[in-house]
Chains A and B, each alone.
Chain A
Amino acid sequence: MELLAEAVKLYLGKKEILKGIDLSLRPKEFLGIIGPNGSGKSSFLKCVYRVLEPTEGAIWFDGQPLDELSYRESALRLAVVAQHNSYSFDFSVLDVVVMGRSPHKRLMEPDTGEDYAMAREALGAVGLAGFEKREFSTLSGGEQQRVILARALTQGSECLVLDEPTNHLDIKYQLQIMDIVKELNRTVIAAIHDLNIAAMYCDRIVAVRNGEVVGVGPPRKLLTASFIRNLYGVDCKVATEPETGQMNIVYIPSHLKDSNTLRRIPSAEIQ
């Protein structure tokens, strides 16, 4: 699936949240969106998954304007894992996952054994086989997020939108969720906070600041120390991990930048 955004502008009230975002998502690509808090990453993704509507500009799925598709048609093409999912009623895990079949169903059409089989398979894929009868609200944050991922998988759509999917998760689950998604080999667009994770999984990265795209490219080309300083106002060192060949971004917080502090640390370690 291919996604194209052209000059997407979004106003919420009088405030201009997105100031004309241009972006393309190629088939089978893993595209990351990075940017500081409030930069408009999530708002843009919400325009893609239609919770918000762009004030100006347009988004195309495979050459079709998004607003000409019914919600059902867009749900068949793209499934979403958003950052926060808390439900005020006690659904079982299987109930939640099988709801991913909704866009495939007519109103009165019951869920078949096949649907449940798909839901179970998706639960297996996210490592939650055996959790079917558990209540969703009793799961840990990481488990809940994996259930939502299983629901998105059950939806069977070509494209996955991940809206900061690994927030609040510990590093094990962050890597696990990203690994699952990566191995699916689908078209993915994901808002990501952690630059090292973004560098590890994304084919290309789009950087957004103040509602504008300020850079696009493969992680190694885009994420230079000066670029990160401009984007986040944070100093860092970008290195290559000698053993694995991975990119490694090390942040230098201001208390270490103070020359006195820098000098003091080695001596402290010796003692």
Chain B
Amino acid sequence: MDTLFGKIKFGLLLAILAAVLAGAVLWALSIGTIKLPEAAIWQSIVDQLGSGLPVEAPRQSPVHDIVWLLRLPRLILAALVGSGLSVSGVVMQALVKNPLADPYILGISSGASLGATMAILLGIGVTLGEDFVGIAAFIGAFAVSLGVLFISNLGGRSNSVKLLLAGMALSAVCSAFSSFIVYFANNKEGMQTIAYWMMGSFAGAKWDSLGVIALVVLVSAAFFWTQSRILNLMLLGDEAAITMGTDLHAYRQAYLLISSLVVGFAVYSSGMIGFVGLIIPHVVRMVAGPDHKRLIPVSALTGAIFLVAADGLCRILIPRTELPIGILISMLGAPCFIYLMIKRTYSFGGGE
């Protein structure tokens, strides 16, 4: 990024990725049980934007309903969750200084699962409305993050190793309680619901909640972009950072809270979507290098493209059946990742 040429090239890369994202959304809008021609999609988009009516206004065309009520909200959600998880993955890898970290590593996944399990099997939080499972998962995820922060600060300042250990410990506790509840609830249907929820899905996307999620994801990504200098220092470690004038302690706490807020919203809206937050940061590092100034925006766009494309594929791979997106991501993502790993001789920073 040192030269003007480098800046132009980087700008061009972002523009291309944005165009690819738009293309992916358009493609995913057109496919599914009913295949829509592109002209009809454009027409429906233009009509809706020109009409000034609320999206849910009745008596509109079936194309309108498919585009605006079914497919577009879930694609926007997929893009937002993809961005949020990818950026969180980047940040989490810097926070714990470990290339194997993902957004869920500090116990967030087990916390979310415990929340969801309690909601589904014990009916905790039913009064919160139809989203109560998501809300309970959000609370579980966020509570565990706070717990991890608290524990890692006991007996001296927290550091990346203490964070990881606290995350593992709380994760074990939450999993144990989830299993305890599952075992004693003895509720087959509930267990199925939990299993389904754990696979993740964007089918529950609603315009109402998209605004908040968009705000959280976009603001946090912009925020972390401004923090790239400190994120870079985090990769060098606490001691080196201090000798270069920055005490990482407070930053680490703040980043962890913001990141878990993002992950909490992702979990709330679409369940557990694994793998994205682990592989996208690595794939982007292979292409754009480890400098967070590039890594954050490129990861945000790449993550969005990845989940939009995956959501599209989920709806067409098996006729008349929707494949849970978590399964597809792991099935497709892992081999692609291994291929990239071998081809680019990417060392995961292991060096040598």
Interface membership of A251, Cβ < 8 A: no
How near does chain A come to B107, taking the closest CB pair, in angstroms? 21
From 320 to 352 in chain B, residues with beta carbon under 8 angstroms from any chain A beta carbon are 346-347, 349-352
Q: Is B290 an interface residue (CB 8 A)?
A: yes
B contact patch SS: loop
* Cα–Cα, bound, A72→B236 (Å): 16
- Evaluate whether A111 and B2 lie within 8 angstroms (CB atoms) in the complex, with A75-B245, A88-B349 already known: yes
Q: Does A43 contact B (CB under 8 A)?
A: no
Known: A50-B242, A74-B245, A102-B244. Is A116-B351 also a contact (CB below 8 A)?
A: no
- Number of contact residues on B: which range applies? 35 or more
Per the 8 Å Cβ criterion, residues 269-295 of B in contact with A are 285, 289-291, 293
The one of B227, B230, B235, B243 in contact with A89, judged by C-beta atoms closer than 8 angstroms, is B235
Q: Is A107 an interface residue (CB 8 A)?
A: yes
Residues of B within 8 Å of A95, CB to CB, are 232, 289-291
**The one of A51, A99, A111 that contacts B239, using a Cβ cutoff of 8 Å:** A51
Among the 9-residue stretches A56-64, A77-85, A215-223, the one with 4 or more Cβ atoms under 8 Å from chain B is A77-85
Given A80-B243, A111-B1, residue A90 in contact with residue B236 (CB < 8 A): no
Contact A108 B349 (CB under 8 A): no
- Quick one: CB contact mask for B223-234 with A, threshold 8 Å, 1 for yes? 000110110110
Are A90 and B290 CB-contacts (below 8 A) given A111-B2, A138-B351, A138-B352? yes
Query: A75 with B244: in contact, given A89-B99, A89-B290 (CB under 8 Å)?
Result: yes
Of A89, A92, A108, A155, the most chain B CB neighbours within 10 A belong to A89
Main secondary structure of the interface of A (DSSP, over half): mixed
B residues in contact with A257, CB < 8 Å: none
Q: How far is the CA of A135 from the CA of B285 in the complex (A)?
A: 13
Chain A nearest CB, measured from B248 CB (Å): 10
Whether A99 touches B352, Cβ cut-off 8 Å, given contacts A51-B239, A72-B246, A75-B244, is: no
* Complex contact A100–B244 (CB within 8 A): yes
Residue of B whose beta carbon sits closest to that of A132: B2
Instruction: Find the residue from B229, B244, B289, B346 having the highest chain A CB count within 10 A.
Output: B244
Q: Which residue from chain B places its CB closest to the CB of A74 in the assembled complex?
A: B245
Complex contacts, B227 vs chain A, CB 8 Å: 107
Residue of A nearest to B293 (CB): A110
Residues of B within 8 A of A (CB): 1-3, 93, 97-99, 226-227, 229-230, 232-233, 235-240, 242-247, 285, 289-291, 293, 346-347, 349-352
Question: Residues on A close to B: CB < 8 A?
Answer: 46, 49-51, 70-76, 78-80, 82, 85-92, 94-96, 98-100, 102-103, 105, 107-108, 110-111, 113, 116, 135, 137-138, 155
User: Can you show 25 pairs from A to B with CB atoms below 8 A apart?
Assistant: A46-B239, A50-B242, A51-B238, A71-B242, A71-B246, A71-B247, A72-B246, A75-B246, A80-B243, A86-B351, A87-B235, A87-B237, A88-B97, A89-B93, A89-B290, A90-B346, A90-B349, A91-B290, A92-B289, A95-B289, A95-B291, A102-B229, A103-B245, A107-B230, A135-B351
